[in-house]
Structure formats: C-alpha cells, structure tokens
C-alpha cells in the first residue's frame, strides 16, 4: 500500500524546476508556526508508530522460537497478548497521526485560502481585468492543496518512513547481516523502476490533465449564457462537437495507457518483492538448518523485508514530492506578494453626516502597468504586457454640490468611465484629489465610502443567486417592506410579485434570465435600497433599446432625487436637466456649462448633439425628448411561464 501511495504522489506531481529560496522556506516555517505544537506531537506520534511497526515482526519471530523450543503455552500466549496490544497501540497511533495530519493539513488550507482570498479582495480592478479567473481559482484550490500536502502526507511520510527504514535495517543486520545484504542486492531492481515508471506516469497524467483542462475551458466558455449565444449566432456546432470529441478520445487513450503502466509497475514491484522474500527464506532457512540462525529470526527477517522496500520506494520519490509541495507554496506566495494599490490609513475617518458633495481637484491619472498588478502565470502568458503607465486624465477639476447633478459626455475613450471609477476609489489618483464632503477619499474609511457612494454600471452585473440575495448585497439587514419599496420605486414590484417564487427567483448567471432593462432596474433597486448620498451612473442605459431605456429612466429619476450625482450618458437627451455638463476629449475637459449654454456656444457638445439628433431623427422628438419607438421590452413574465429570457443585447439598438 505504501508503494502504491508513493506511486500515486509521483503520478500526480507537477515537476517544477524553478529555484526555491531559503527565504521562502523560512516564510513557510513562519506561516506554519501557529500549529507548531500539533506538528511536534504529530512527528512524535509518527516516530512511535514506526517503532510499533518494527516491533510486530520481532514478536512474531519470538513466537516461532517459543513454539520450536517448546517454551510452554504461557510464553506463547503472553507473546500473542503483547502482539495484540502492539496491534491496538499501532491502530490507536495510526488514528492519532491521521487526525493530527488532517487537522494540520486542513488548518493550513484554511489559513492559505483565507489569506489569499482576503488579499485578492484588496487588489485593484486592474488586477481582475488582466487575470484569468481559472488561473486565480487554481491558486486557491490546486496550489493550496499542494502546499498542504507538505505538512500532512509528505512530512509524515518522510519522518515515519525514515524512522521505519533505519530501525528495520538495524534490526535486520543484528538478526543476520548476510541475509540483509543479500536482500539489499535487489534494491536497485526495486527502486529504479519505481522512479522511471513514476516519471512516465507523471508525464502521461500531466498530458491527460492538459487535455482535461482544455475541455473544461471549452465547456466553461460555451456553456455560459453569453458563450452559448455566440456559438448559436456565429459558431460551428458540428466542428465544435468534433473538436471536443477528439480531445475526449485523447483523454480516453491516455487513461488506458496510464492504467496499463500502473498495472505493469505494480506487477513488477510485486515480483521483485516476492523474489527478495524467496532469497530471505532460502538463505535464512539454510542458516537455520545449519543451526546458525533461529527459525523465528527467519520469520522476523521475512516480515521485516516487506516493511523495508515500501519506505525505500517512498523515500526515493520523496524529494520530488517535497519540491512539488514547496513550489505550490511559492506559487501561493506569488499572489500574496502582489502589493494592493489601494490601502487604508490607520486613522481613516468616516464620511461626515449630512449632505455630501463630490469634487475632483486637478486630478491626473494613469492606469498601472501590468507588473504592478498582475503575474504572467495568472495571465497565462510568457511575459507581461509592457504597456501602461500613460496618463489618461489631465488635470480634471469639477465639483457637484449636495443634491446637484454633473453630467459627463464625450467620445468613447475620452476618460468618462475612468472618472467614474475614481469616485468610489476603485483606483487612486496619481496627483490631485477626489473629495467627498471636502475630505480626500484616501483619508476616508473604505466601508464608509461604500455606504456613502452608490454606483450603477452599464453591464448591471448580478450574481447567480435569488433576486432577494442580489438586492440585499449592500444592506443585508433591510426589511421586507424596504425591499418592496425599492422595487416599487424601480418600477419592478408588479413584475417580481407576478413570479411564482417572487423574491426567491433565481436570476441566472450574470442575471441572464432577465432582459437588459429588467437587469438594470434591479441594480437600480439595489442602489435605492442602499440609500447612498452620492450616486454615480456609468452609462446605465448604454445597451438598452428605447422602450427599456424609458423604464430605466423612470427608475433613475427616483434614484437621483435629492442626491448628489455624477452621470455619464451616451444619449445626450438624458442629461439635459443636469446642473452642469462636462464635455471630455482625450482626458481633458474641453467644455462645461448647461445644456442650453453649450448649444449656444456651438462647440463639441453642439456637434455631438446634432450628430446624435440626426441619427435618432425618425425615433426622437427633439423638443420633448420623448422616444418614439415601436420596439418594446420583452417582459419578465417569461420567467413566470417557465421560459428563459433571451440574453440582453441580442437585439441591436
């Protein structure tokens, strides 16, 4: 069993030949220091277990000698009782070591996972825009478990196997050095195939894992709502199926080859072990017949031999297992060593009570380069992108007084969404300041900023959970009445009430069971429930048709009433009532004023407005701003009838 256990670890070990520093090793020791008492008890108990393992063959040999020498029934029964006691002690020690191993290993997984999870949560948005989610999740799963193995399986295996090997050799040499040396002659025949077969199995399993990972990636991308829609619109289903089947066949063939190599390996080990056992019985029996060795010693040697080759095999592959576990630690530390760009001061203060203004004071900003926020291994590239660090906002200054609205308009890429991300401190400015209630956001408590400022983005993201859970995200303690009031103000109460499960209806991955307008109104209801004093809208109606936009605009009117707001809009008709409109181009504010003032100037705003008016002429009344369109929003009632909604964005605007 130990040989098979060693083979299993060799098979699944991912060999990584990157250098491992002593600094990292010391860091691992510090990381495991909270469990040092358990580790010491675990090592001591593993040593006791090894001693008991060697004791049983010796006692068995004594029983044989007692029978041969006719020492009496009492001696045989006493020895049998001792063997039973040793067996019980061995079972108890085994249970104890397994419990300690599980506690240490699972405790380490808990420490590593929470440390990585908490650290990743503090990373800037740029980290998530660059990192492949699967690679990051792998650090929390595969690498954390690999690191845990260093303190459970590998550590216990090395200690117990080393103690067992040394004790077994000492005892065997004392019983008969001639038989012991002869048994060791077959050692290379036993160990070398173990290493070669183990390496071959590792290569086969890595190749199989690669194909499985490719299949998983294909399934993950194609089985999401957006991916399935894309395949149905532009994909080639037959080619997709053939490609998947080809990879599945490769995995099948590799599985057959792996199974056969395993069988050959175990058969060879069993054969070599049987040959060694035959040599022990042959030579030992010869010495016993000549009177130079007791019969019990022959039995003891045979039993000890079976406990000699197993730890030798395990120790032969231990170095690779240890290095694999250490490299897993190093990969986890890589993530932990990424410095969060957004940090909170120890003396951070809350946003003052009362009405809140928002101000940008000579703000300059450039997105951080990849080396500051990412790892090549997390992006699954050879080297990181060297681009970045170029300034995208140049001296932006404006102020929205309490209860007032400032609108940002301009060409795509002008910097509008960047400004929106700086307001809730998703990024920090390079120079200048963003202030809430005349206090720099860098001096404010992050939780207080989240309570004060609410944001609705253009994608209206929802978790794959119930409507209730998505609404309660900012305020878990909100009452049922408050939830329904937010839905009423977002113009969703009637639709949600008509669903069979009501608030407990699942919205699907990214909210894809809802239409675009319904999804946006649900995010607005979430905003209303949060009751922020400052609202930032980042093109909240960008991807909606006119009918959906009209419904969302009604909900937005409720959300903005009496609140300080910064609104980014691609449709200029939605920002006519703003107290101030800022026109951005290439990171600069090129114009500012009210709607009528900017039209009178005849500059960039007037150009944007006339261009948009010309494009929307058949559907828009410029005097009233009322959209005239025959297109209607698909109703959320599709959920009521059990039919899933079509994904938002399928119908062009």
Number of helical H runs and strand E runs in the chain: 26, 12
- For Cα atoms 591, 595, 601, give the angle at the middle one, nearest 5 degrees: 50
Structure confidence at residue 649 as a pLDDT band (50, 70, 90): very low
For residue 538, is pLDDT > 60?
Answer: yes
Using an 8 Å Cβ cutoff, are 90 and 127 in contact? no
Q: Is 167:54 a contact under the CB 8 Å cutoff?
A: yes
Label residue 169 by pLDDT band (50, 70, 90). Answer: confident
C-alpha to C-alpha distances, 329 to 147, 210, 585, 619, 628, nearest whole angstrom: 5, 22, 47, 60, 61
pTM: 0.66
- pLDDT tier at 650, thresholds 50, 70, 90: very low
Average pLDDT in the 287-292 region? 82
pLDDT band at 400 (very low <50, low <70, confident <90, very high): very high
pLDDT at 219: 75
> How far apart are the C-alpha atoms of 118 and 129, rounded to whole Å?
18
Determine the average pLDDT of the residues in 448-475: 86
Please name the residues in contact with 172: beta carbons below 8 A apart, sequence gap of 6 or more. 179, 180, 183, 301, 304, 305, 308
Looking at per-residue pLDDT, the higher value among 95 and 10 belongs to 95
Short-list 575, 462, 434, CA closest to 523: 462
Comparing 191-195, 314-318, 621-625, the range with the smallest average pLDDT is 621-625
3-state secondary structure (DSSP) of residue 632: coil
- 428 sits in the region (left: phi over 0; alpha: psi -120 to 50; else beta) called beta
> What is the separation of C-alpha 477 from the centre of its chain, rounded to a whole number of angstroms?
28
pLDDT at residue 653, rounded to an integer: 30
Give 621's DSSP letter. E
Domain 358-374+389-640 in the same topology as domain 2-336: no
* DSSP string of 155-198, one letter each residue: HHHHHHHHHHHHHHHHHHHHH-HHHHHHHHHTHHHHHHHHHHHH
C-alpha span between 650 and 653 (Å, rounded): 9
Q: Tell me which range, 109-118, 185-194, 391-400, 637-646, is most confidently predicted by mean pLDDT.
A: 391-400
pLDDT at 638: 38
Q: Is the pLDDT of residue 66 over 80?
A: yes
- pLDDT on residue 637: 36
| pLDDT at site 373 | 75
The reported pLDDT for the residue numbered 47 is 83
Give Cα 65 distance to the centre of its chain.
60
- Answer yes or no: is pLDDT of 633 > 60: no
pLDDT at residue 307, rounded to an integer: 75
Count CA atoms closer than 13 A to 219's CA, side-chain side: 10
- pLDDT score of 642: 37
Residues contacting 47, CB < 8 A, separation 6+: 159, 160, 163
Mean pLDDT of 10-18: 44
Nearest to 317 by CA among 427, 193, 216: 193
Burial of 342 (0-12, 13-18, 19+ CB in 10 A): middle
What's the pLDDT score for residue 358?
94
Position 592 confidence tier, pLDDT thresholds 50, 70, 90? very high
Measured between alpha carbons, how far is residue 220 from residues 171, 214, 216, 224, 502 in Å? 57, 10, 6, 6, 29
Q: Which CATH architecture has domain 2-336?
A: Up-down Bundle (1.20)
- The pLDDT tens digits for 428-456 are 999 999 999 999 999 999 889 988 998 88
**30 pLDDT above the threshold of 90:** no
The distance in angstroms from the start CA to the end CA of the chain is 65
Q: Any idea where the domains of the chain sit in the sequence? A: 2-336, 358-374+389-640
pLDDT of residue 588: 93
Q: Phi first, then psi: give them for residue 584, nearest 5 degrees.
A: -110, 140
As a whole number of angstroms, the distance between CA 490 and CA 583 comes to 29
Is the CATH number of domain 358-374+389-640 3.40.50.300?
yes
**pLDDT value, residue 16:** 44
Pick from 133-137, 357-361, 362-366, 468-472: least confident: 133-137
| CA dist., res. 127 & res. 224, Å (int) | 23
Other C-beta atoms closer than 10 Å to the C-beta of 325 total: 25
Residue 364, pLDDT score: 94
**Residue-wise pLDDT tens digits, 484-528:** 988 888 888 888 888 888 888 888 777 777 877 788 888 888 888
Query: What is the 8-class DSSP label of residue 140?
Result: I
3-class SS string, 381-432: CCCCCCCCCCEEEEEEEEEECCCCEEEEEECCCCCHHHHHHHCCCCCCCCEE
Task: Give the whole-angstrom CA distance, residue 312 versus residue 168.
Answer: 11
Task: Name the least confident of 11-15, 118-122, 214-218, 375-379.
Answer: 11-15
User: Is residue 1's pLDDT more than 50?
Assistant: no
Query: What percentage of the chain has pLDDT greater than the value 70?
Result: 78
Average pLDDT over the chain, rounded to an integer: 77
Return the pLDDT at 12.
43
What are 154's two structure tokens?
């590998």
Position 632 confidence tier, pLDDT thresholds 50, 70, 90: very low
Can you tell me the distance from the alpha carbon of 471 to that of 484, in angstroms, rounded to the nearest whole number?
Answer: 10
Between 95-109, 319-333, 468-482, 586-600, the lowest mean confidence (pLDDT) is in: 319-333
In this structure, the chain runs to a length of 653
Looking at the predicted structure, is the pLDDT value of residue 14 above 50?
no
- pLDDT for 543-553, tens place per residue? 566 666 676 67
* Crossing angle between the packed helical segments 155-175 and 36-68, to the nearest 10 degrees: 30
Phi, psi of 277, rounded to the nearest 5 degrees: -65, -40
Measuring CA to CA, which residue among 543, 562, 597, 431 is closest to residue 489? 562
Summarize the confidence of residues 44-55 as an average pLDDT: 84
**8 A C-beta contact, residue 539 and residue 568:** yes
Query: DSSP states of 48-61 as a string?
Result: HHHHHHHHHHHHHH
Per-residue model confidence (pLDDT) at position 329: 79
What stretch of H or E contains 118?
A: helix 73-121
CB-neighbour burial class of residue 521 (10 A; exposed 0-12, middle 13-18, buried 19+): buried
Residue-wise pLDDT tens digits, 101-157: 888 877 877 888 888 888 888 887 878 877 777 677 777 777 777 776 666 666 667
User: What pLDDT score does 640 carry?
Assistant: 38
* CA–CA separation, 531 and 451 (whole Å): 8
């Amino acid at each position: 069993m130990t040989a098979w256990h060693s083979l299993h670890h060799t098979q699944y070990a991912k060999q990584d030949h990157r250098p491992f520093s002593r600094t990292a090793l010391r860091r691992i020791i510090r990381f495991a220091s909270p469990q040092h008492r358990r580790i010491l008890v675990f090592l001591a108990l593993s040593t006791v277990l090894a001693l008991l393992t060697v004791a049983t063959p010796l006692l068995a040999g004594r029983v044989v000698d007692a029978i041969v020498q006719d020492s009496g029934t009492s001696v045989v029964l006493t020895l049998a009782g001792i063997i039973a006691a040793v067996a019980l002690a061995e079972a108890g020690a085994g249970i104890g070591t397994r419990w300690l191993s599980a506690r240490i290993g699972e405790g380490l997984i808990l420490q590593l996972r929470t440390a990585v999870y908490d650290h990743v949560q503090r990373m800037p948005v740029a980290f998530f825009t660059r990192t492949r989610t699967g690679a990051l999740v792998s650090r929390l799963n595969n690498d954390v478990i690999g690191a845990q193995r260093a303190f459970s399986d590998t550590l216990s295996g090395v200690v117990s196997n080393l103690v067992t090997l040394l004790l077994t050799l000492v005892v065997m040499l004392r019983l008969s050095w001639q038989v012991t040396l002869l048994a060791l002659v077959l050692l290379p025949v036993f160990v070398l195939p173990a290493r070669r077969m183990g390496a071959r199995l590792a290569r086969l399993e890595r190749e199989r894992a690669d194909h499985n990972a490719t299949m998983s990636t294909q399934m993950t991308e194609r089985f999401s709502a957006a991916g399935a829609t894309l395949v149905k619109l532009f994909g080639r289903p037959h080619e997709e199926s053939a490609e998947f089947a080809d990879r599945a066949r490769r995995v099948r063939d590799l599985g057959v080859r792996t199974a056969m190599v395993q069988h050959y390996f175990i058969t060879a080990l069993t054969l070599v072990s049987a040959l060694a056992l035959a040599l022990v019985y042959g030579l030992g029996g010869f010495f016993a017949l000549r009177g130079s060795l007791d019969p019990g010693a022959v039995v003891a040697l045979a039993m000890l031999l079976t406990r000699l080759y197993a730890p030798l095999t395990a120790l032969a592959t231990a170095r690779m297992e240890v290095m694999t576990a250490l490299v897993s630690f190093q990969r986890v530390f890589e993530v932990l060593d990424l410095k969060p760009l957004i940090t909170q001061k120890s003396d951070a203060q809350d946003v003052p009570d009362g009405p809140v203004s928002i101000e940008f004071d000579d703000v300059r900003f450039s997105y951080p380069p990849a080396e500051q926020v990412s790892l090549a291994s997390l992006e699954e590239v050879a080297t990181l992108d060297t681009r970045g660090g170029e300034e995208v906002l140049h001296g932006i200054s404006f102020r929205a007084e309490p209860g007032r609205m400032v609108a940002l308009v301009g060409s795509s890429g002008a910097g509008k969404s960047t400004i929106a991300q700086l307001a809730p401190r998703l990024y920090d400015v390079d120079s200048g300041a963003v202030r809430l209630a005349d206090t720099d956001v860098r001096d404010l408590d992050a939780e207080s900023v989240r309570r004060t400022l609410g944001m609705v983005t253009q994608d209206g993201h929802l978790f794959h959970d119930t409507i209730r859970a998505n609404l309660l995200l900012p305020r878990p303690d909100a009452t049922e009445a408050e939830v329904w009031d937010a839905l009423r103000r977002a113009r969703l109460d009637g639709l949600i009430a008509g669903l069979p499960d009501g608030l407990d209806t699942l919205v699907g991955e990214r909210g894809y069971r809802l239409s675009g307008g319904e999804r946006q109104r649900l995010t607005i209801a979430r905003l209303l429930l949060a009751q922020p004093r400052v609202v930032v809208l980042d093109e909240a109606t960008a991807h909606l048709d006119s009918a959906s936009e009209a419904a969302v605009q009604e909900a937005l009117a409720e959300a903005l009433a009496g609140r300080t707001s910064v609104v980014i809009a691609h449709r200029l008709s939605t920002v006519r009532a703003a107290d101030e409109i800022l026109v951005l181009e290439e990171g600069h504010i090129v114009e500012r004023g009210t709607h009528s003032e900017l039209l009178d100037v005849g500059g960039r705003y007037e150009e944007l407005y006339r261009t948009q008016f010309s494009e929307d002429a058949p559907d828009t009344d410029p005097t009233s701003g009322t959209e005239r369109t025959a297109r209607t929003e698909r109703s959320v009632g599709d959920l009521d009838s059990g039919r899933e909604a079509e994904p938002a964005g399928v119908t062009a605007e």
